[in-house]
């Protein structure tokens, strides 16, 4: 039993080194690097009423998938009203308090962000030019 303990310890250490590497999806940023200040948000485009592509400073792009249909994001002249919950940092979908106004005289509608996904260079290149922010 005493001879088995060092071998078991070695295997445990090896697994502890390998598992975090396998858990990271290639081409994806780490969770901490997903964060940005709401003031770094630069532009957005909506290919449909449930998806927003956003661009932040530093040529970083994200896809925001909405929980429900938000048709106002497709209207000409639509404006995003962005707020954060707590700090000014946006790190995940729950940090968004997003509303869309169809124009200067329209009432803003809340749009719930379900997921926020950082995009890889290949995913950014695949966005049609008309939908790239």
Q: Determine the pLDDT at residue 12.
A: 42
pLDDT at 101 over 80: yes
Q: Please check whether residue 112 is in contact with residue 33, taking contact to mean a CB–CB distance below 8 angstroms.
A: no
Q: What is the pTM of this model?
A: 0.72
Burial class (CB in 10 A: 0-12, 13-18, 19+), 12: exposed
Q: What angle do CA 88, 44, 97 make, to 5 degrees?
A: 40
85 confidence band (pLDDT: 50, 70, 90): low
Q: Please check whether residue 49 is in contact with residue 61, taking contact to mean a CB–CB distance below 8 angstroms.
A: no
């Amino acid at each position: 039993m005493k001879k088995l303990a060092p071998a078991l310890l070695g295997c445990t250490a090896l697994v502890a080194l390998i598992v975090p590497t396998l858990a990271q999806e290639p081409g994806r940023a780490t969770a901490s690097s997903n964060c940005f200040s709401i003031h770094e948000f630069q532009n957005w485009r909506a290919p449909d009423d449930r998806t927003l592509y956003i661009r932040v400073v530093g040529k970083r792009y994200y896809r925001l998938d909405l929980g429900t249909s938000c048709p106002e994001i497709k209207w000409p002249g639509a404006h995003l009203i962005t707020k954060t919950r707590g700090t000014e940092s946006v790190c995940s979908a729950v940090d968004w308090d997003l509303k869309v106004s169809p124009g200067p005289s329209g009432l803003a509608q809340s749009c719930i962000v379900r997921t926020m996904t950082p995009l890889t260079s290949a995913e950014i290149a695949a966005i049609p030019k008309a939908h790239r922010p």
